[in-house]
Amino acid sequence: MPDQSSPQTRTPEPTVPGSVPDGRRGVSRRALLGTAGATGLVLGSAGGAVGYAAAPAQATPLTSVGSGRAMFHGKHQPGITEGLQARGHLVAFDLAAGAGRKEAAALLRRWSAVAERLMAGEAAPHEDTGVARDAGPSSLTITFGFGHGFFARTGLEKQRPAALDPLPDFSSDRLDKARSDGDLWVQIGANDALVAFHALRAIQRDAGSAARVRWQMNGFNRTPGATAHPMTARNLMGQLDGTRNPKPAEPDFDRRIFVPASGEPAWMANGSYAVVRRIRMLLDDWEKLSLSAQEQVIGRRKADGAALSGGDETTAMDLEKTGAEGEYLVPLNAHARITRPDENGGAAMLRRPFSYHDGIDADGTPDAGLLFICWQADPLRGFVPVQRKLDRGDALSKFIRHESSGLFAVPGGSAQGEYVGQRLLEG
């Protein structure tokens, strides 16, 4: 798991309230909602206030955590290339009996409207609960996808992508069908727990009679700014998780992660495919291993993420380097070796996970692990070949269990005045 995770974990430290330079003071969510139109508030691309006229007296500046803003409209949907967020919710819906293409279009129109407003730090379009009052956008992202069954329910089977064919079975699967798949999938992430929950409730409420929740999962990551300096995130095994993730600046990033503008079907242009897996970590067994044994399983040092072949976290792994006894320093079954793109025909995926902890079983075993989310232009060339190879001999497989699974087509971003999926539902 650690070698291809979150894309941008380096987040600036939060600004201490009162330390914002003059002329760039933020405003509270309450002030934002009540005075934005009257005072001419201008928001930059990061969501911070860059200037205003006649600001309300005694306005309290937002910290950098609260003022962070992702944009709803764009070439791609939000929640794919942004950095890891502190809190996440994943929820899948099934269309209600009798609901079809017309109802689905109305639902996506409602969901897009609420997502646009909440991501801007505004109240929900109607009957806002006030849960996130006084908070800023907090880097909220809301992402929408379609599952395999959506197309039959809406009479759009001919528009279903071949890449959305069901995933094959894997030996590590112990899948709960009730917590897998779904007609519609929504990913919510934010750097504030109340902002994320507020979005979840708004999405659920706006589903109305058109769709019902099939399953829902909650996750978390380290809060941006919690470390002394920016660093790669850690998972619940204590490993740095994300060292070799593809980076947007790389020349082949878009080709690997997004469907090209000329791709098929046309409605998936600039979209991506999300594989979602709830991976339980068998932490009691893992924590019985010595530090050295854990590092042999992963192939990297636990302290700093450096490959066992030497160097630091960013040093290229030397797969041929051997020790005094002639043994490979990075074991043949080490997770980091097996998941390398150059060991899988170039297969790559952008991993953007959340950790989860859903309590403790009656025998004292923690129900905890990873809400694995990976993005790719084609899962048959991304997730599937890597998982098949892991099935054949990954040392980590003894300490994890895949308990639910889903594959979703996530269309490209919507333009101003459009809703997500409009080109599919009205094309």
**Residues recognised as catalytic:** 241
Question: What's the CA gap between 368 and 355, in Å, rounded?
Answer: 8
Question: What's the CA gap between 259 and 240, in Å, rounded?
Answer: 29
What is the helix (H) or strand (E) element at residue 102, kind and residue range? helix 101-119
User: Residue 348 forms beta bridges with which residues?
Assistant: none
User: What tokens does 244 get?
Assistant: 């070799």
Residue 16, by phi and psi: left (phi above 0), alpha (psi -120 to 50) or beta? beta
How far from chain centre, in Å, is Cα 53? 37
Query: Are 354 and 219 a contacting pair, CB within 8 Å?
Result: yes
Query: Are 232 and 9 a contacting pair, CB within 8 Å?
Result: yes
**Nearest 5°: phi and psi at 85?**
-105, 160
Question: What's the CA gap between 289 and 298, in Å, rounded?
Answer: 12
Q: Work out the number of other CB atoms within 10 angstroms of the CB of residue 269.
A: 17
What single DSSP character describes residue 335? H
Question: What's the CA gap between 377 and 250, in Å, rounded?
Answer: 15
Query: Are 373 and 2 a contacting pair, CB within 8 Å?
Result: no
Q: Which candidate, 267, 106, 132, places its Cα nearest to that of 192?
A: 132
Say which amino acid occupies 88.
Answer: G
Token pair 């994320």 in the structure block, residue: 196
Helix (H, G, I), strand (E, B) or coil at 296: helix
Half-sphere exposure of 372 (CA within 13 A, CB side): 24
Q: Which candidate, 240, 224, 188, 246, places its Cα nearest to that of 7?
A: 246
How far from chain centre, in Å, is Cα 259? 18
